[in-house]
Structure formats: C-alpha cells, structure tokens
Amino acid sequence: MQIKGYHTKQKNIIIEMLKNNKNRHLTADEMLKILDELNSPVSKATLYRFLDVLVSTGDLRKYITLDGEKACYQYVDEDECHMHYHLKCIECGTLIHMDCKHIDEIRSHVLKEHKFNVDPCRIVLYGTCSKCMEVQNEKNS
C-alpha cells in the first residue's frame, strides 16, 4: 500500500493492521478491537477519518452491511486482490469471494444493452451459506 501524504505513527499502525488482516473483511469496531489487543489503541475518530481517506484513494474497499448501518472494509492488495464478487450470509455474516463467468456475462449485458458499467467490487449477493443451511436443515429434521 503506497499511501500518499503525511504519515503519522497511528496511520502506520492502521496500515500494518490492515496488511496483517488482508484476507478478512473488518468493521471499524473489529479494527479498533484488534488495535487495542495489539496495545496500539487508535481513537475512533482517527480511524474513521483515515478509513475514508483509504477508501477515496482506492486502497480500501468499503461494503455496506445488509442492515445498512455498519460497513466492512477490505484491504486492496494490488498483487493479490483482483476484481471479484461477494456472497454475504444473512445468518452468520460470512463474506465469501467469488469469481463467476455468469455474473461477468450479466455485467457485460448491462454495459452493452443498458449503457451502465457495474462495479464488480461492489456486487454483493445476500443469502444463506452452506454451513447455515446445514444448521437450518438439522433444525427442521
């Protein structure tokens, strides 16, 4: 992550925490908890301001949760992170990365026929993951 501008110790701590959790989608509250556990507390206001900066520079992706109240963030690692879609379980909250040629075809159709370019990084399909479906099936049996 090549963040432009002035770097404070707290910003560097936040960047390192994001790099160390690059395979997770975290809410700001989860980030604050991680930072606190690392004995590197950062104020909530500082974290939110810096998250906004990172989102605006494209270094972080922001996803709004189903309830519309919380957001989760994904670190963008240029070497590893590519365009993909997400499946979000409404039961347990798991966020799953998905590559799918069929959704690519829908995106192409929307662009060609409706002149609208859909951002694949912001596509989130909500439903129930296989683990939660198993639990539901066991309860119904």
Domain match, 71 and 3 both: yes
More confident residue, 70 or 21: 21
Domain match, 70 and 96 both: no
Q: Please write the tens of the pLDDT for every residue from 56-101.
A: 988 888 887 666 667 888 888 765 445 678 888 888 877 787 888 9
More confident residue, 122 or 71: 71
Domain match, 4 and 72 both: yes
Does pTM surpass 0.85?
A: no
Domain of 111, CATH number, reads: 3.30.1490.190
pLDDT at 1: 47
Residue 5 has pLDDT above 70, yes or no: no
pLDDT at 7: 67
Domain match, 88 and 64 both: no
Domain match, 73 and 96 both: no
Domain of 24, CATH number, reads: 1.10.10.10
Domain match, 90 and 76 both: no
How many domains is the chain built from? 2
Strands 85-89 and 124-127: parallel
Percent of the chain at pLDDT exceeding 90? 40
Domain boundaries, position 127: 82-141
Out of 80, 101, 117, pick the residue that ends a domain.
80
More confident residue, 42 or 83: 42
Domain match, 75 and 97 both: no
- Calculate the average pLDDT of the chain: 84
